[in-house]
Amino acid sequence: MDIAALTRKYGSTVLGTIGVALWLVALYLLGYAAQNSAAFDRWLPWILLINISGLLTLFVLLATKLIRLVRDYRRHVPGSRLKGRTVAIFSALAVAPILVVYYFSLQFLNRGIDSWFEIEVSQGLKDTRELSHAALEVRVREFLQHTQVVAHELSPLTDFELIGTLDRERRESTALEFTVVGAQTRIIATSSDRPMDALPAPATDEMMLQVRRGRPYVSLDTDSVGGYVIRAASPLEGNGGSAARILIALYPVPQQLSQLADTVQRSYTQYANLVQLRQPLKSTFVLILSFVVLMSLIAAVYGAIFAAQRLVQPVQDLIAGTRAVAKGNYDTKLPLPSRDELGFLVTSFNDMTKRLGRAREETRRSQQAVEAERAGLAVILARLSTGVVSLEPDLTVRTANQAASAILGVDLEAAVGTRFDESISDSTLFTQFIATVKQRLGADQSDWREQIELLSDTGKRVLMCACTALPNDLGGAPGVVLVFDDITTLLQAQRDAAWGEVARRLAHEIKNPLTPIQLSAERIQRKFSGSMNPEDAQVLERATHTIVAQVEAMKQMVNAFSEYARAPDMHFSRFDLNQLITEVVDLYRVQASGVELKLLLEPNLPNVSADRIRIRQILNNLVTNSLEALEGKAEPFVEIETHVAEDGLKQVVAIVVTDNGPGFHRDLIGTIFDPYVTSKPKGTGLGLAIVKKIVEEHGGRIEADNQRMGGARVRILLPLGEAARSLSGREPRKGEHRRERV
């Protein structure tokens, strides 16, 4: 780790430690300086500055922490209330003892300082002073008397005589100095035992004033070196003039007495200073004590906040982690605070989130798999030709596929979420289907299979429906799933196949003997008609004619069967359907002059790819059927319409042939395309069957129904383009595909 990283990591800690240490030292020195000022006079401002800076720093830190704490508390930050309570408790625990100690310290401080100034001490000092004063007073009076005696002796002397006498008088006494001053305190004569050390003691104004009033002057004074001297002054009598002379004498105080007096004076002065400093000292000590207590309080509260922060931080982390987990963030990993109980809790939390994350990942994968399965199933259901509808127990549609909607003729996918039986639809198929299903479900039959025959406007529809109960893990009533398939076409195909087989067998078994029968009948007539009498010959002729006619009829019938049953031999070509229709209709305009033949042909109808001959046959059959049905009808008409239409995903050409005849019989409408189904007395019942067969060979679809205003309607849907052949199930042979010349 480089120095910069170390500085970043430990720099603040080191600086903080140095600051705290410096502050503590300054705090100690502050208390020490209050008692020993001389040693710290120079540093005291810096000591004060450090202490005040420390206090301000602590105060700012504390204020910052408190502001943040209050802000978090108001914002309901997780853990702030616990932190606030912890801080309050810690602060109370720390502050209460400090305040108690502070109170008693104040008491001790005041009483301790007051005890320094007990009245006994003060009185003792005063008594000492009085004692010293009394001890010196005797000596002072003695020296004053001596001064007065000397002054009396010197009074008669002239100024000149004084010089010698004064020195003798001083030597005979213990005086340090004799000085005689005259007017203006002019020195007349002086004598000193230390003439080289100092000038004669000057006469003070006080001294002169008192002496001139006629009173002797004496005082105990201190000299410049700290010793005591007695100064006395007495006027010299005699001259009485304005220039009165005064003797000033200076007497020594014994050294021992002087030292004692000096000690007393020093003690007295010190005590006076102490008395003077009594209140300031108390204030100073109280100030320092308060300062220390204040800093201790701030430090204690700050420490309480710090400790609470350390204590609550893991809890806050846990709360934040819990919220993150609640929001689905399982990647939350809390820092490990310590290896105590909280650390164990955090470790457990981290383990829990790790497991939750793993479980969520597994769940997500499972869900994805289920979704993929569901999507695949939805695709399968959508592509199924079988209708699938799942219902809730209350018949609410849960799911439905496209095939179900197509089969039942109603948009069941849009009905998801609504009740199955309340779906609004005009489809008669759907109405009949619901009735059947409700009947079975109402009988508490949840697993059944049934072939349901439904009548629609376009004929009979047969559905193979199976119902199965859905599993319900929650234990409630199970839903059901209906699976149904439109097997109408299948049944029709089966029926067509059966009829084809019948026709083929009939053509094979019946057609073969018909020719010998016809030939035999014609031979009988030729052989025996000449030899018979006319009456018998006429009978024979009628009989053989009948036989031949019926055989011919049977041949036609067998041929028709043969036509129905023969394998398709298609010759596809692309031609204009409208032109073909016009040609066919023009043929009938001559024959059926009483019937109006209407053409509603779409001008831009694309060419169709089909077998032109067979399409012509279809048109012939349909027009013939309509014309036969219109016999005896007033204002008969046949209308042929063409247009492009959509049939599912295919684009088709629709040929709609309508008339205003009696229409199809209601009972026959479901089987109108079956062989031998006809309402005409002379019909073979194969016309519409052949039409349907040809349409299906082209991959198309045919519908027949009655119009509301009366009359039949046949609707043929032929696929456009190459789809016709692919749907017809066979490819054209080489060279088969040709564009027919029209």
Partner 1 sequence: MNAAPWKRRWRRSAAAARPGAALLFAVAVLSGSLCAGSACADGLEGRFEIRSADLELKDGVYHLNARIDLPVGEAVRRGLAEGVPLGLELDLDIERVRQLLPNSRVAELTQRYHLQYNAVSARYILRNDNSGQQESLGTVDAALEQLSEIHGLPVLDKSLMTADRRYEASVRAKVDYGTVPFSLRVLMFWVNEWHRESDWYTWTLQP
Binding residues for partner 1 (CB under 8 A): 33-34, 37-38, 40-42, 44-46, 48-49, 129, 132-133, 136, 204, 206, 219-222, 224, 228, 231, 261-262, 264-265, 268-269, 271-273, 275-277, 280-281, 283-284, 287-288
What is the C-alpha to C-alpha distance for residues 721 and 239, in angstroms, rounded to an integer?
176
Q: Which residue's CB is nearer to partner 1, number 217 or number 499?
A: 217
Buried residues in 47-66 as b, exposed as e (16+ CB within 10 A): beebbeebbeebeeebeebe
Q: What is the DSSP string of 708-726?
A: TTSSEEEEEEEE-TTHHHH
Q: Which residue's CB is nearer to partner 1, number 14 or number 287?
A: 287
Amino acid (one-letter) located at 352: M
Q: Least distance (Å) from partner 1 to the CB of residue 42? A: 6
SS3 content of the chain, % helix, strand, coil (to 5): 60, 15, 25
Q: Least distance (Å) from partner 1 to the CB of residue 235? A: 19
Q: Least distance (Å) from partner 1 to the CB of residue 114? A: 18
Other Cβ atoms within 10 Å of 665 Cβ, number:
12
Going through 183-313 in order, the beta strands assigned E by DSSP cover 187-192, 217-222, 228-235, 246-252
Other Cβ atoms within 10 Å of 196 Cβ, number:
5
Q: Least distance (Å) from partner 1 to the CB of residue 268? A: 4
Q: Is 476 helix (H, G, I), strand (E, B) or coil?
A: coil
| Residues 610, 572 contacting (CB under 8 angstroms) | yes
Q: Least distance (Å) from partner 1 to the CB of residue 122? A: 10
| Residues 363, 337 contacting (CB under 8 angstroms) | no
| Residues 384, 401 contacting (CB under 8 angstroms) | yes
Q: Which residue's CB is nearer to partner 1, number 261 or number 694?
A: 261
Which strands make up the sheet holding 650-659, listed edge to edge?
A: 596-600, 637-647, 650-659, 712-719, 701-706
* Two structure tokens written together for 5: 């990283």
Q: Least distance (Å) from partner 1 to the CB of residue 125? A: 8
Other Cβ atoms within 10 Å of 610 Cβ, number:
30
Q: Which residue's CB is nearer to partner 1, number 30 or number 189?
A: 30
Q: Which residue's CB is nearer to partner 1, number 155 or number 222?
A: 222
Q: Which residue's CB is nearer to partner 1, number 107 or number 273?
A: 273
Between the two ends of the chain, the Cα-to-Cα distance in Å is 99
Q: Least distance (Å) from partner 1 to the CB of residue 169? A: 24
Which is nearest to 625 in space by CA: 597, 601, 659? 659
Q: Least distance (Å) from partner 1 to the CB of residue 244? A: 21
What is the C-alpha to C-alpha distance for residues 280 and 270, in angstroms, rounded to an integer?
15
Q: Least distance (Å) from partner 1 to the CB of residue 245? A: 22
Which is nearest to 484 in space by CA: 523, 442, 530, 448? 448
| Residues 246, 235 contacting (CB under 8 angstroms) | yes
Q: Which residue's CB is nearer to partner 1, number 30 or number 429?
A: 30
Sign of CA dihedral 125, 130, 133, 134: negative
Q: Which residue's CB is nearer to partner 1, number 202 or number 648?
A: 202
Amino acid (one-letter) located at 657: V
What is the C-alpha to C-alpha distance for residues 691 and 624, in angstroms, rounded to an integer?
12
- Give me the torsion for CA of 576, 577, 581, 584, rounded to 10°: 70
Q: Which residue's CB is nearer to partner 1, number 260 or number 655?
A: 260
Q: How many residues does the chain have?
A: 742
| Residues 571, 739 contacting (CB under 8 angstroms) | no
Q: Which residue's CB is nearer to partner 1, number 210 or number 706?
A: 210
Q: Which residue's CB is nearer to partner 1, number 262 or number 736?
A: 262
Q: Which residue's CB is nearer to partner 1, number 218 or number 407?
A: 218
Q: Which residue's CB is nearer to partner 1, number 244 or number 281?
A: 281
Q: Least distance (Å) from partner 1 to the CB of residue 202? A: 9
Which is nearest to 479 in space by CA: 436, 433, 432, 447? 447
Q: Least distance (Å) from partner 1 to the CB of residue 171? A: 26
What lies within 8 Å, CB to CB, of 296 at 6+ separation is: 98
Q: Which residue's CB is nearer to partner 1, number 262 or number 522?
A: 262
What is the C-alpha to C-alpha distance for residues 661 and 113, in angstroms, rounded to an integer?
139
Q: Which residue's CB is nearer to partner 1, number 178 or number 228?
A: 228
Q: Which residue's CB is nearer to partner 1, number 221 or number 394?
A: 221
The region that residue 193 occupies, defined by phi over 0 for left and psi between -120 and 50 for alpha, beta otherwise, is alpha
HSE at residue 291, side-chain half, CA atoms within 13 A, is 21
Q: Least distance (Å) from partner 1 to the CB of residue 184? A: 16
Q: Least distance (Å) from partner 1 to the CB of residue 132? A: 5
Q: Least distance (Å) from partner 1 to the CB of residue 210? A: 9
Q: Least distance (Å) from partner 1 to the CB of residue 189? A: 23
Q: Least distance (Å) from partner 1 to the CB of residue 252? A: 14
